[in-house]
Amino acid sequence: MLLEVNNLSVSFGGVQALNLSHFQLEDKELRVVIGPNGAGKSTFMDILCGKTKPDTGEILFNGKATNGLTEVEIAELGIGRKFQKPSVFSSLTVFENMTLAARMKKDVFSSLFFRMTPAFKKRIVAVAERVGLAGVLDKQAGALSHGQKQWLEIAIVVLQDPKLLLIDEPAAGMSDRETERTGELLLELSKEHGVIVIEHDMHFVRQIANNRVSVLVNGKLLMEGAFEEVRNDQRVIDCYLGRANAQLEKL
C-alpha cells in the first residue's frame, strides 16, 4: 500500500471542505479523482503535499505518517505535486527549470558547487523527450504555450523521482491533441509511479482511467469503482446534473 488515509477532515471558517473516512492507493496505481466544483479534490491534494494542515486524521505514506511534516520533508519522502495553475520558473530556461527539479542534494552549498555532468544532462534530455519538450530546452519557460507549461511542470515533478505524483487538472486549457498526449504520458508514468489525477474532462478521464475512479462530493467520498461503473451510477449523474454539467450524459 503506497498511500493510506483515515478520517481526514479539514474545515475553512466553519465550512467542512473535506471529510474523508478512508482512501487508499496501491503502488503504481493510477487513480482519477472526479467531482463537482468545491468537492474538496484540490484540498485533498493540498493536504497530501503539506500545503494545508488537516484538522484531524492520519496519512500514511509507505507506512510512514506525514502529519506535521513540512512540504520540503514531504517532497523528500517522495510526493510530487503539480498544481492546477501551471507554476514553473518563468525567467529560467526549460533546461534550467528541469535541472533545479532533478533529485539531488538541495542544500545551499551543494547548489553553489553543483557541476553539470554528461550523465545528468542525458537524464534531463530523456525526460524532456518523454514530455515532448526536447525541442525547446533553451527557451524561457515564461515564453512557452500553456500546454507546454503544463508538461514542463509534469517534467519538474517527474524529475524529483517521486513515488507518488499528485496531478491537478493536467488537461485544463489544452487542445484535444495535447490532451490526448498528456493522457498517454500519464498512463506511461503510472508504470513507474503511483499517480493521483484530478480531472473534469470526461473524455480525458475515460482515456486514462485504467483502474479505479473516486468520486468526491461535498468533501466526502461518494463512491469508487471502474470508469463505466461510476459513469452509470445514478448518484454520480445526479450530483453532476444538479450542477448543470451534462458531460456524463453525453458520453
Give the footprint of another protein on this chain (CB under 8 A).
49, 51, 71-72, 75-76, 80-81, 83, 87-92, 96-97, 99-101, 106-108, 111-114, 156, 160
Q: Which is nearer to another protein, 158 or 215 (CB)?
A: 158
Q: What is the C-alpha to C-alpha distance for residues 27 and 56, in angstroms, rounded to an integer?
A: 25
Q: What is the C-alpha to C-alpha distance for residues 203 and 39, in angstroms, rounded to an integer?
A: 20
CA distances 73 to 30, 144, 154, 167, 168, Å, are: 24, 30, 20, 19, 20
Q: Which is nearer to another protein, 106 or 212 (CB)?
A: 106
The distance between the two most distant Cα atoms of the chain, rounded to a whole number of Å, is 59
Give the β-pairing of 30-34 and 213-217. Answer: parallel
Q: How far is the CB of 170 from another protein (least distance, A)?
A: 16
Paired strand residues for 56: 9
Q: Which three cell numbers stand for residue 92?
A: 529560467
Q: Is the dihedral of CA 42, 43, 44, 45 positive or negative?
A: positive
Backbone angles phi, psi at 194, to 5 degrees: -75, 140
Q: How far is the CB of 75 from another protein (least distance, A)?
A: 4
Q: Which is nearer to another protein, 22 or 53 (CB)?
A: 53
CB 48 within 8 A of CB 58: no
159-182 burial, b if ≥16 CB within 10 A, otherwise e?
bbebbbbbbbbbbbebeeebbebb
CB atoms within 10 A of CB 84: 15
Q: What is the C-alpha to C-alpha distance for residues 69 and 92, in angstroms, rounded to an integer?
A: 29
Query: Shortest CA distance to 185 belongs to which of 229, 107, 132?
Result: 132
Q: Which three cell numbers stand for residue 114?
A: 553543483
